[in-house]
Amino acid sequence: MKILAHIYEAHKKEFLCKIDSGNKTVSASAKGTVLKGNQLVAGDKVLLEKNGDDYQIVDLVERTNEIFRMNIRERKKRITAANCDLVIIATSVSRPLYKQGVIDRFATRSFQWDLPATVVFNKMDEFEDDFDIDFEMRRFENLGIECFEVSAEYPETSSRFGRGSFKDLQKKLLGTQSIILGQSGVGKSKLVTALSDKKVRLASYEIGKGGKGVHTTSWSEMIDCGIFRIIDSPGIRSFSLDDISPEELINFFPDLLPITLTCQFNDCQHESTTKGCAFYRGDIDSRTADIIGSRL
C-alpha cells in the first residue's frame, strides 16, 4: 500500500517525511528510479512504501511549482523547495540595514516563480525613522505585494503605518505552505517561532557579530506550525539574478514592462540621456513616478 507524505528535510540519500494521515514523522530512502532526473526537496509530496520498519519513496507527486535558480554552467534548475502557496520576504528595519536592491531581487524571483509574495518588515520595535519605510511599502504595494510591519520579539507591537499587523500575518498564512526568504540576521527564525505561537523553536541560525546571521544549516527545511507550514531556506547575504538573461529579466518587472514597450528603441538602456526613452518623456503618472524611478 502506498502512503502519501510530505518531505520536510531532503539530504543526499535520506529524507525526513511526515505522513499525511496521522502526522507520523519517518526517515525514508528513495527508489533509484525516483531520484533519476529528480531533485527531491522540502515541500515535495511523495508516495511511500513500508517494508518492515523501513520506508522508501517510490513516487513523486507532480509539483504545482518549484523554487529554483538556474545553474549557469549546466543550464539546469537547482531546485530548493516545491509546492509553495506564498513567498514571505523578511527584512529588517534596524540591523542588518534595509537593502532595497536585495528585497527587489527577492520580489523578482517571486514573479519568476509565478507566486504571490508578501514583504514582512521585522523588528518594528527598533524602528527609528532611519529611512522612509512608507515609501518602501508603497513600492511593493504598487506591484500588488502586501506588506506587514511586525516584531517577532514583541508580537503585540502596534502597526505604525497602517499596514498588516503580526496577527494579520498569522491569518494570511492559515492553511498555506509558504517559503520564507531573507538576508541573514533579519530574524527569520524568531519570526517562524513567533508565528507558531512558540510551538516551534528553531536553531537554524545564530546571531553573530554585527547582527549578521551565521548559517548552521545548508539545506531547506519545512516547519509544521500546526495551522500552516513554512519552508525555511538558508540565510543568504545576496541573491544574484545573474542566471536570468537581460532579455528575460524585464518579464519579471510587471510594473516596468508595459512602459519599456513604448520606448523608441528596442535596445533602450533606460538612461536619462537616452532620447525617446519612455521613462523620461513625462508620460508616467506623477503619483507613481518616484516609485517607477526607484525600480529602474
In this prediction the pTM is: 0.90
In a domain, 91, yes or no: yes
Report the pLDDT value the prediction gives residue 286, as an integer from 0 to 100: 74
Q: Are residues 196 and 266 in the same domain?
A: no
Number of domains in the chain: 3
**What is the domain range of residue 167?**
80-232
CATH for 7: 2.40.50.140
In a domain, 250, yes or no: no
Task: Specify the residue for cell string 514523522.
Answer: 25
In a domain, 283, yes or no: yes
Q: Are residues 213 and 180 in the same domain?
A: yes
Q: Are residues 53 and 95 in the same domain?
A: no
pLDDT band at residue 202 using 50, 70 and 90 as cut-offs: low
Q: Are residues 92 and 37 in the same domain?
A: no
Q: Are residues 129 and 87 in the same domain?
A: yes
Q: Report yes or no: 81 and 177 within 8 Å, Cβ to Cβ.
A: no
- Is a pLDDT exceeding 50 seen at residue 208? no
- Is a pLDDT exceeding 80 seen at residue 153? yes
